[in-house]
A and B are shown apart, each in its own frame.
Chain A
Amino acid sequence: MMGIITNTKSEDILGELTQHRSMSAVPFGCRYRLIDFPLSNMVNSGIKNIAVVMTNKSRALLDHLNSGKEWSLDRKSEGLFLLPSASPRLFQKKNKFDLKDLWENFDYLQRARQKYVVLSGNNVIFNGNYQKGLQYHKEKGADVTLYYKEEGAHNLSPGSFNYFEVKENGRVTSIHSCPSKTENNQVSLETIILERSLLMEIVKLAADTGNWDLGDVLLDNINELKVFGYPFKGYAGKINSLVSYFRHSMELLQPQVQQELFFANGPIYTKIKDGPPVKYTETAETANILAGSGCYIEGKVENSLLFRGVAVGRGSLIRKSIIMQNSIIEENVVLENVILDKDVFVRKGTVLKGEEGKPVVIGKRTVI
């Protein structure tokens, strides 16, 4: 099996967080970026040939992936491939899997020797082994297998080709853009398994017809193709809005979620920073927090996530917030329901509160 990580089309859905970076490079879980999850899953599934499609804002992502050595993908043969995107994609925002990107890199598909391909979006977080999906794919005699999770309508939002109708035998009969049920909506996990030859056929077809949308192609041929849904049972999140980003981040404070996301099928690899262990001083107070390495904590932190290299000054209170890498918070600051992007500097005595569940986002390198 080979793996390809594709782009999310409407990358600006995270606003400030995707202003300077692609969705793949959005920081998540105190030390990771979103792409670490599908990429580590691929590595942990024994996949040795992995391609990542670039976007027009690739600098952060390129810096993060580098040679791929943290994922053991700096190989002489195969390993990590970076595929240029077909277009800067300024206006098209609706397509899910952009077949145009794959057409642009058709040589790569042609040269690969693997029989099967797993395509993954870059905004889904779960810890799973794609070999299980492949086994299901083979057992069902499927042409295409789509990963999904079941979820009530409560937290769901519309999105193109986001929801499946799955019959009892696993056959996907329809794909929608809105959740249709109050319970057990089959939410797409943007993960697709199919044979490389079929993918190439679909890409060629797309080039001929000009329909670059894999979701469209599947929906149009839902009766001709054997499309099956693979129910992923573990914890899974899909980041498609700032609200869902915040919610899934906060869910990491549950030990059960940590277990399922960080350990279930193998470790999640990421770029190494070599920071020291976190230092909590005499004045530090902590409850329900997750923290990456290299933080220096002198204040009070509750129900929050601290990325690597964050400093929290004396007398400061951080609640229900996400503080990204190397942000510095001086003394006597109060932050609540706030997301600080990287390298933000918060001056003494600043008070900043967002709404419950709707955090205020402070952009990268801001001084407040």
Chain B
Amino acid sequence: MARKEWIAMLLAGGQGSRLGMLTRNIAKPAVPFAGKYRIIDFSLSNCTYSAIDTVGVLTQYKPLLLHSYIGIGSAWDLNLEGGGLYILPPYVGEKGGIWYKGTANAVYQNIDFIEYFDPRFVLIISGDHIYKMDYSLMLEYHKDKNAEATIAVIEVPWEEASRFGIMICGENGAVLDFAEKPKKPRSNLASMGVYIFNWDILKEYLFLDEEDPLSENDFGKNVIPRLLKDKRKVYAYPFKGYWKDVGTIESYYTANMDLLKPLPEMDLFDDTIKIYSKPSVLPPHYIGSGGGVKNSLVPDGCVILGQVERSVLFPGVYVGEGSYVKDSILLPNVKIERESIIWRSIIGENTTIGSRVKVGLKSDKYFNQEALTVLGDGIIVPDGVEIEQGASIKSWQREEAKIS
């Protein structure tokens, strides 16, 4: 087989434990986002746009839904001869096998896969981020700089810089130093977790990393610092645009709500990089005579008989007559019966809320702007129940207190 210019390795094995209720049953890349997508759609669609024809998707944590969602990649036009999308879970060989210990170890365990395609360059990305990016421009930059490794960076507000992996760069873009979550950041250029390596260099450093018993086998923490220590040619590729790690419930909520702004930083209606997703095969959505929707995103298959304001709905959501949903995210197939109120809440997939239920209200402080209320997947909330603001509910049992 002819040598490939480049292939992508997409890290999709993380649990995303800080997303709590949202990743109880599914991996973070499979979490629904922006009304009809799942988080991994963004990275996969970027690959499609960048004309990468071979993508290995490394999975580990609760992969069932993720695997069935990705399939053979046809939704992203990645079902290709001589390449395509491959799902790469951990496996065993003659000498047994181990789970993926870290991001670098996950790629290390799939060296055979990469060797099979024999690429000149390997793009490492993750399925955890929301952004639209043309990786092919980054590859050009990598080649122009004659780099051995290139790290995509984005300017973040200085006050937030200590939450990221921060790059200190020379004027020509060469990375001089790297600090993971520094207390006193010396720069505001944050690593986006997007790397391009020359394959021969990456392979060498994956072996070195694996031999190091003290290594956590992580790209950011171990592989990049080692490359810098060895004075390898590492460059930073400055990316301009929207990029968000929806790592926590709060950032997940904010990123969804950002889309409702009149001019969102990431415009889903801008087709420049089209975001593809697995189609849901549902009819158009219906808004009833007594229904009203304002400042919201509504995908196919929804039936809205009540009022919805400043909310993001997902396919198959039902809002019954007289119900009122505000500042909320209703994940796929959420059903809300009649005359219920949902405020500032995230309601998990397939959860049914009965009639005259109140979710996320504080009787004395109706307009409390603070806490989000989160209901997990597949819960059935009976009629007339009140769920206090800030509650986080994973199952409903009759005897159970209101807050679990």
Question: A250-271 CB contact bits vs B (8 Å, 1 = yes)?
Answer: 0001010010001100011100
- Segment of B101-109, B208-216, B282-290 engaged in the interface with chain A: B282-290
Nearest CB of A to B284, in Å: 4
Q: Does B292 contact A (CB under 8 A)?
A: yes
CA distance A59 to B147 in the complex (A): 49
CA distance A31 to B284 in the complex (A): 7
- Segment of B52-60, B91-99, B134-142, B296-304 engaged in the interface with chain A: B296-304
Q: Does A90 contact B (CB under 8 A)?
A: no
Q: Does B36 contact A (CB under 8 A)?
A: yes
Most buried by B among A253, A263, A293: A293
Nearest CB of A to B256, in Å: 11
Q: Does B367 contact A (CB under 8 A)?
A: no
Residues of A within 8 A of B35 (CB): 276-277
Of B277, B285, B291, which is within 8 A of A278 by CB?
A: B285
Of B279, B288, B296, B297, which is within 8 A of A272 by CB?
A: B279
Q: Does B34 contact A (CB under 8 A)?
A: yes
Whether A255 pairs with B303 at a CB distance below 8 angstroms is yes
Number of interface residues of B (CB under 8 A): 36
Nearest CB of B to A76, in Å: 14
Question: A266-302 CB contact bits vs B (8 Å, 1 = yes)?
Answer: 0111001010111111111111111111101000000
Contact of A289 with B294 at beta-carbon distance under 8 Å, contacts A255-B303, A274-B274 already known: no
Q: Does A29 contact B (CB under 8 A)?
A: yes
Q: Does A30 contact B (CB under 8 A)?
A: yes
Nearest CB of B to A266, in Å: 10
Of B277, B279, B287, B299, which is within 8 A of A287 by CB?
A: B287
Residues of B within 8 A of A305 (CB): 284
Whether B276 pairs with A281 at a CB distance below 8 angstroms is no
Q: Which residues 293-319 of B have a CB within 8 angstroms of A?
A: 293-300, 303, 312-313
Contact of A278 with B298 at beta-carbon distance under 8 Å, contacts A285-B292, A287-B291, A296-B269 already known: yes
Whether A258 pairs with B297 at a CB distance below 8 angstroms is no
Nearest CB of B to A312, in Å: 13
CA distance A284 to B262 in the complex (A): 12
Whether A293 pairs with B295 at a CB distance below 8 angstroms is no
Of A255, A274, A286, which is within 8 A of B277 by CB?
A: A274
Q: Does B268 contact A (CB under 8 A)?
A: yes
Of B34, B296, B299, which is within 8 A of A293 by CB?
A: B299
Of B260, B269, B284, which is within 8 A of A291 by CB?
A: B284
Residues of B within 8 A of A277 (CB): 34-36, 268, 297-300, 312-313
Whether A284 pairs with B293 at a CB distance below 8 angstroms is yes
Of B274, B286, B298, B312, which is within 8 A of A255 by CB?
A: B286
CA distance A203 to B293 in the complex (A): 55
Residues of B within 8 A of A268 (CB): 283
CA distance A29 to B285 in the complex (A): 11
Besides the contacts A30-B284, A276-B35, A280-B293, what 12 more A-B pairs have beta carbons closer than 8 Å?
A: A253-B286, A268-B283, A274-B275, A274-B279, A276-B297, A277-B300, A284-B295, A287-B290, A287-B291, A289-B286, A290-B286, A291-B285
Interface residues of chain A, those whose CB is within 8 Å of chain B, are 29-31, 69, 253, 255, 258, 262-263, 267-269, 272, 274, 276-294, 296, 305-306
Mind listing 8 A-B residue pairs with CB under 8 Å? A276-B36, A276-B269, A277-B36, A279-B260, A280-B294, A280-B295, A288-B291, A305-B284
